[in-house]
Amino acid sequence: MESRKIQRVGNGTYTVSLPKDWAESQGIASGDVVTLHDHIDGVLAVQTGNGDDEDPPFARIESADPEVIERALRAAYAAGAREVTLERDEPLTPDQRRAVERVARNRIGMSVAAESETVTTVQIMLDSTEVSVSQSLRQLAFTVRSIHRDAVEALATPPDSSPTGSRDTQVDRLASMIDRSVSRGMADLGEVDALGTTRPELFESWTAMRELCRFRDAAAEIGDAAAALDAPPSDGRLETYRDIGAGVRAVVSDGVSVTLGDEGADVARAAIGDLSRAHHEIDALDRALDVGGERGAALRRVLRALRRTADCGGGVAQIGLRRAIRCQETIRDRRPERMNE
């Protein structure tokens, strides 16, 4: 890193010299024109040329294994590729085509653009100016909370299968789009501007997204455990499960709000305090559980999954607290609750 002194020329323009080694490495000579990009990050970037001749990110797949094809397509989407070509010497098999269609169907903005016997081209037409990472994160949080709520409620009437349903696909679609947006933003400052955010905010959204996906997985585990029960828990225990679940979901909601700047540090601090109470209640339930056999194992599985969702909720709240500190908010003790008068 070098420091340069700002100079002022006669017409009031401010100038700064470019490092000689960098200019020569880029082939810049006196009289050449460069492009300046002023980013909302507070970064002024110098770009050589006009940038119009750069090829869009492109990927090629030549594997015959449908699983490898599927993984490669998901990776290309996350990496920010605009186009992916699957090419084989022999005609593509139905399994290979289904793998392509399955990924394209479950990714926002991805579609099959052209097909022949041996070649399939997939394009990702996702305009960053029309993407809202913050809104996608809010929608993701809402979806995983609804999965969690239904999973806890399934304890009252044990279902034949997990209550997660098609919302699992919605979670993957939203998480993948956030993953792609952050990946492109980290590689290209222009993408950051198009998304209308900053790199620290993008990273915090990405980290929160990962915690929300883990929250979804743990919620699905609650639903699976509920499906394994032969009868619901006792009324008192069921209500405690519901109370704990509601508290954990509130922590997630507050954590996301603080992460996105909708709420401040006090909300994150209160959410972490609420999480501590949820952990104490889960521990108390675990100690009081004296049911043996398969039923006891299923109830302990519920408690483990509840504890995992609480941990993930705490992770989201911690991300919000980190954002508040980055924004130089003051972190205070929780205000004592006022007694009813």
Tens digit of pLDDT per residue, the chain (341 long)? 778 888 888 777 888 888 888 888 888 888 888 878 777 667 788 877 654 445 557 889 988 999 999 999 999 999 889 999 999 889 999 999 999 999 999 999 999 999 999 999 999 988 888 889 999 999 999 999 999 999 999 988 876 666 667 788 999 999 999 999 998 888 777 788 888 888 888 999 999 999 999 999 999 999 888 888 878 888 788 899 999 999 999 999 999 999 998 988 888 888 888 888 889 999 888 888 766 666 778 888 888 999 999 999 999 999 998 888 888 766 565 444 433 32
Q: Scanning the structure block, which residue is given the tokens 């009031």? A: 12
Q: What is the pLDDT of residues 87-133, one digit of tens each?
A: 988 999 999 999 999 999 999 999 999 999 999 999 998 888 888 99
Give the whole-angstrom CA distance, residue 277 versus residue 244.
9
pLDDT of residue 159: 66
The DSSP-derived string for 71-123 is: HHHHHHHHHT-SEEEEE-SSPPPHHHHHHHHHHHHTSTTEEEEEE-SSEEEEE
70-74 long-range contacts, CB within 8 A, separation 24+: 70/99, 70/102, 70/103, 73/99, 73/100, 73/103, 73/104, 73/122, 74/103, 74/107, 74/176
Same fold, 58-124 and 129-326: no
Tally of CB atoms within 10 A around 5: 7
- All structural domains of the chain with their residue ranges: 7-48, 58-124, 129-326
User: Is the pTM of the predicted complex or chain greater than 0.75?
Assistant: yes
What six digits make up the tokens of 299? 């109830």
Q: For the domain bounded by 58-124, which CATH number is listed?
A: 3.30.110
Select 129-326's CATH number: 1.10.357.10, 1.20.58.220, 3.40.720.10, 3.30.1330.40. 1.20.58.220
